[in-house]
Amino acid sequence: MVKPPTREAASGLRAVARCDELGAVPYSDSDEHLFRPYLGAGHAAALDRIAAWMTEAGMAARIDAAGNIVGRYEGRHPDAPALLIGSHVDSVRDGGRYDGMLGVILGIETVAWFAERGHRFGFAIEVIGFGDEEGSRFPVSMLTSRAVAGVLGDQDLALADAAGVGLAEALEGFGLDLAGFAGAARQRGDVLAYVEAHIEQGPVLEAEGHALGVVSGIAAQYRFRAVVTGTAGHAGTMAMRLRHDALAAAAEMVLAVERIGGAGPEDLVATVGRMEVGPGVPNVVPGAVTFSIDVRAGRGAVRDRAADEIRQALAEIAARRAVTLDLTVQQDLPATPCDAGLSDLMAEAVREVTGAAPRILVSGAGHDAMVMAHLAPVAMLFLRCRGGISHNPAEAVMDEDVQAALEAMTAFVARLDRASFGAPPKEKEE
């Protein structure tokens, strides 16, 4: 007989309650809203609480060399490779309670569910909470997952936050050493796969009536910095026909970005999210404008084609309006396909839980999974979020959806064990 979920046993209800608990002081650096930057006071408090939950779930908890929280639930053999289940624990300023954190807590609830039943597998399960997916403190993102995946490359670690506090100093506050940061790297043979559950951060699942979705891949992304330079002049004396108005030119460019992004296919999006106007005076024709361009698509070829069209369109506008344009690539992230075999197992698990064919969709947002794909095959499970809202205090999930996600995660783990080792987990006798 299946027992109804409670807050005392592994359940979606408890996962939501735990995320809610972590949504305020002392787990936030702000009294007014949720803000949990990497290596801040809220981060430290959250790791302590998460470590306690990991221990209660039967895991051995530790902080790795990059400041990630890791809990290990041993397999049938102590040297077994690990299935990593995780997401991030940091948040943007004035963020929501479920972005990232729900994936970490669902990982703990998954382990707790199996521990309550005495299940062990041919692999260990490790739950990992990455410290800085958002890049909300230091001017880089996914630094700690890159450390774990061993793809830091030539990344300069002499970083400082807006207050001038360096990464080295922040790490020291956690008893960590910058010189050992790269030591968080895992060996390929020690990691079987990486799985991440995450709110969709979009409206598709809600609009189509699905609680869960299976991610086929993470979109390729370009981020540009565009600088338009015209001629500043007095708004009352400069004739309209003689103006080289940087803002008017930039406005036309923004519409071109929107037009190209909206021309499809469905997985293509293009956004201008930031703009700075100089000199920013009401009675002066703008002489300089800087703005961002973000172009994403599930397929690299689609993203690249759209980016080329945007470059050409903006150059033509600049030439026609007699302004100069400097377009610089700031970020180039390739598309990350999820592993087909793992995604099939996840789709089977979702079908088992929901009784319906799973919705397959591309993630337009970046996730730690796209970095971890350099280390091991990855899969992602999406949960419906109310209104598609994320990075916002209005971020919300439904208890029953989170319960379905937990059941899908446990079904996935059992299926992975059978697929990998041919032996279903045995339940201890009561």
Res 430 pLDDT > 70: no
Cα–Cα distance between 57 and 18 in angstroms, integer? Answer: 14
pLDDT in tens, 46-76: 999 999 999 999 999 999 999 999 999 999 9
pLDDT in tens, 11-33: 999 999 999 999 999 999 999 99
Yes or no: is domain 220-333 CATH 3.40.50.11440? no
Torsion sign, CA atoms 345, 3, 198, 264: positive
Cα–Cα distance between 221 and 205 in angstroms, integer? Answer: 22
On whether the CB atoms of residues 267 and 216 are closer than 8 A, the answer is: no
- Structure confidence at residue 223 (pLDDT): 92
- Structure confidence at residue 420 (pLDDT): 84
pLDDT in tens, 229-271: 999 999 999 999 999 999 999 999 999 999 999 998 988 999 9
Residues 12-218+336-421: name the CATH superfamily. Answer: Zn peptidases (3.40.630.10)
Q: Partners of 84 in the beta sheet? A: 126, 194
Torsion sign, CA atoms 398, 399, 400, 403: positive
- Structure confidence at residue 424 (pLDDT): 52
User: Where do the structural domains in the chain lie, given as residue ranges?
Assistant: 12-218+336-421, 220-333
- Structure confidence at residue 267 (pLDDT): 86
- Structure confidence at residue 397 (pLDDT): 98
Cα–Cα distance between 292 and 406 in angstroms, integer? Answer: 38
Res 143 pLDDT > 50: yes
423 pLDDT band (50/70/90 cuts)?
A: low
- For the residues 381-385, what does the mean pLDDT come to? 98
Cα–Cα distance between 178 and 66 in angstroms, integer? Answer: 8
- Structure confidence at residue 331 (pLDDT): 83
226 pLDDT band (50/70/90 cuts)?
A: very high
Cα–Cα distance between 249 and 272 in angstroms, integer? Answer: 14
Collect contacts of 319-324 with beta carbons under 8 A, ≥24 apart: 321/230, 321/244, 321/245, 321/248, 321/249, 321/252, 322/230, 322/244, 323/228, 323/229, 323/230, 323/244, 323/245, 323/246, 323/249, 324/228, 324/229, 324/230
139 pLDDT band (50/70/90 cuts)?
A: confident
